[in-house]
Chains A and B, each alone.
Chain A
């Protein structure tokens, strides 16, 4: 085990997969000579050269489509979006080409590609650079959507995503790149896609959280422990396919659930999780499902307003106390 940051864990995953398979290459804006806008690709150009580590023009639709075309004939591209905000320009190629190619070709052309980069809120970069887009991509059959919250998950899941034969949307969190944690040293360490992780076991209330909300939920659980409430924190890690069984098993045990997310509430991932809980565990619920979401507004710039727009520990604690009927 080594203690490293999420940034370093992602770098290791890409580095190991580039070394493992010559069909893997990485392209994106500033990934090579600049060492990555967020330094996730630091040193890769030096070690693998400009054929495998490719700086692109600012041309998101173009290089996303180029990646899909290269994947059609057998390469395994990793396409970095400097942030997922810019993937909006490339959605035609992600949605209409990558997600649907296998189906509309009658099973002939699978697309082994990873679209990755940071998503969610950053620090005071306002509306166009702070948004969570996972519910957009999770909507489409044909895509897989992954959101890690720890260095070990980041490394293990990214390696699985690169080895996967389908298009994977891999959303990192800009605020979490420096978070540290233990990561196995084994170069064959991977984590399968589609498996939730119980980040903390508990008996009274289930908190489902992903990405930035996982450390928030864990801090809330610590505070609630002192208040006599035992929380179980579940991180789905993969949004599509969703490991709903693990969530439902937990809800059947605790009978109460809070869903925390950074994204807007309307048509969000937690709206879907809430529905599936109702379909599969309605009779086990002792309180209505409670959501904690980002504010339903474009992200503001001012620090105080920004803090109000992102769910924090206090909001999660309050929600748990509400479903536990402690308020």
Chain B
């Protein structure tokens, strides 16, 4: 369904999707039915292999696996008390960040919410700098001052890490505004969850983006729960891609468990952003396999529902496709897994052994131009 090209202001996919139920909560799992659905998705994914070489496909797999293993290690470190505060894991949603960010350039900008470890890794930030930030260490990407929810890397164009639901949407719109203002062809990717769509910031931003033709790509990661509240209990119009209509923004519905579907849709949106300086809204249907945060037991979902989506695990889906198409063999996959595990273990050790921030850091970085009134006075 996401293969359709969405020329503005079409909303390809939205109409198609609107006839199906948005929240599908099965009471029982029929293994045969699930296998049939998974195979359909897999065959569609294989159709998308054209245009990418083996190296590119394997790299997408490696990045998703790195995020999965990194988040598993984060959970372990959190339970061990090495990570404090909130810790929102990205397990299950890896295909969204990896597929989308694989479609942009290094000098393009990325904004994300507080569930952003995966996006930071996909934008090229090192596992070391992210794990050290989680540990609150001086070597962290934000010098230990931001933590899990505030990862930043200026050189790599990763602009956070924002922890008020939906607040990154006007910010990303502003970065896209700057690209338009300065006449560059950079685009901005803005990731947010479906719960952010109910915030005023979303609507105010989409209005300005289309009004002023700003190259911002709004990627709604619809994991179907805002913390413990299902979409059905929180949103009147649940086909989020349809909301683009209100602002005449081109929009698409995308299968977020297929990394290549995400990549294709974002590639179309990037083209629209670079060439026509126009925004796009993508609703990417995904699922988080873990709770909202590490402290969430997840009592609001059934086991059957989680199993249904685990059957479409984006990493297993791609590895199966790669094996069936003989792009990789079991040995190669095992080698990738070994490398990724080593990278994550190295990040853990680095974070664990890194020093805490110097106590003097408490008062640095408050102002870029700190003012001492007594020094300024001329009398």
Contact = CB atoms under 8 A, between A and B. Distances in A.
Contact of A103 (B159, B365, B369): B365
Contacts of B126: none
Contacts of B205: 62, 65-66
Interface stretch (B39-47, B48-56, B150-158, B261-269): B150-158
B19 interface: no
A108 B171 contact: no
A165 to B, nearest CB: 4
B377 to A, nearest CB: 5
Nearest to B364: A107
Contacts of A245: 373-374, 377
A281 interface: no
Contacts of A65: 167, 169-171, 173-174, 201, 205
A108 B170 CA distance: 19
Interface residues of B, number: 52
B177 interface: yes
- Chain B at the A interface: mostly helix, strand, loop or mixed? mixed
A102 interface: yes
Interface in B160-188: 160-162, 164, 167, 169-179, 181-182
A244 to B, nearest CB: 7
Interface stretch (B94-102, B117-125, B135-143, B283-291): B135-143
Nearest to B214: A66
A260 interface: no
A57 B211 contact: yes
Contacts of A241: 371-373
B359 to A, nearest CB: 15
B249 to A, nearest CB: 14
A61 B178 contact: no
Contact of A109 (B152, B204, B369, B377): B152
Contacts of A128: none
Contact of A63 (B152, B208, B367): B208
Contact of B207 (A57, A105, A108, A192): A57
A112 B365 CA distance: 14
Given A73-B175, A97-B162, A102-B365, A108 B208 contact: no
A97 B167 CA distance: 8
Interface in A85-103: 92-93, 96-97, 101-103
A66 B208 contact: yes
Given A194-B376, A245-B377, A246-B377, A72 B175 contact: yes
Contacts of A195: 373, 376-378
B160 A69 contact: no
Nearest to A143: B367
B144 A194 contact: no
Interface in B51-68: none
B334 to A, nearest CB: 37
A68 B177 CA distance: 11
A277 interface: no
Contacts of B201: 61-62, 65, 92
Contacts of B371: 144, 192-194, 238, 241
A64 B369 contact: no
B139 to A, nearest CB: 10
A25 interface: yes
Interface in A35-87: 51, 56-57, 59, 61-75
Contacts of A106: 140-146, 152, 365
A242 interface: yes
B200 interface: yes
B369 A165 contact: yes
A51 B181 CA distance: 7
B207 to A, nearest CB: 6
B368 interface: yes
A242 to B, nearest CB: 7
Interface string A97-125: 10001111111111010000000000000
Given A107-B143, A108-B152, A69 B367 contact: no
A246 B172 CA distance: 42
B142 A75 contact: no
Contacts of B162: 97
Among B111, B159, B162, B204, the one with the most A-chain Cβ atoms within 10 Å of its Cβ is B204
B211 to A, nearest CB: 7
Contacts of A193: 371, 376
A92 B170 CA distance: 11
B373 A103 contact: no
B175 A70 contact: yes
A178 to B, nearest CB: 30
A92 to B, nearest CB: 6
A166 B368 contact: yes
Contact of A66 (B153, B154, B170): B170
A69 B204 contact: no
A102 B167 contact: no
B164 A59 contact: no
Interface in A118-154: 141-142, 144
B366 A103 contact: yes
Given A51-B181, A62-B208, A110 B373 contact: no
A97 B171 contact: yes
Contacts of B164: 92, 96
Contacts of A142: 366-367
Contacts of B348: none
A271 B347 CA distance: 49
A69 B172 contact: yes
Interface of B: 109, 111, 140-146, 150, 152-154, 159-162, 164, 167, 169-179, 181-182, 200-201, 204-205, 207-208, 211, 364-369, 371-374, 376-378
17 contacts: A61-B170, A65-B169, A65-B170, A67-B174, A69-B170, A69-B177, A72-B171, A96-B164, A104-B146, A105-B161, A106-B142, A106-B145, A108-B142, A166-B368, A195-B376, A238-B373, A245-B377
Ordered nearest first, which 4 A-B pairs have the shortest CB separation? Answer: A69-B174, A65-B170, A62-B204, A106-B143
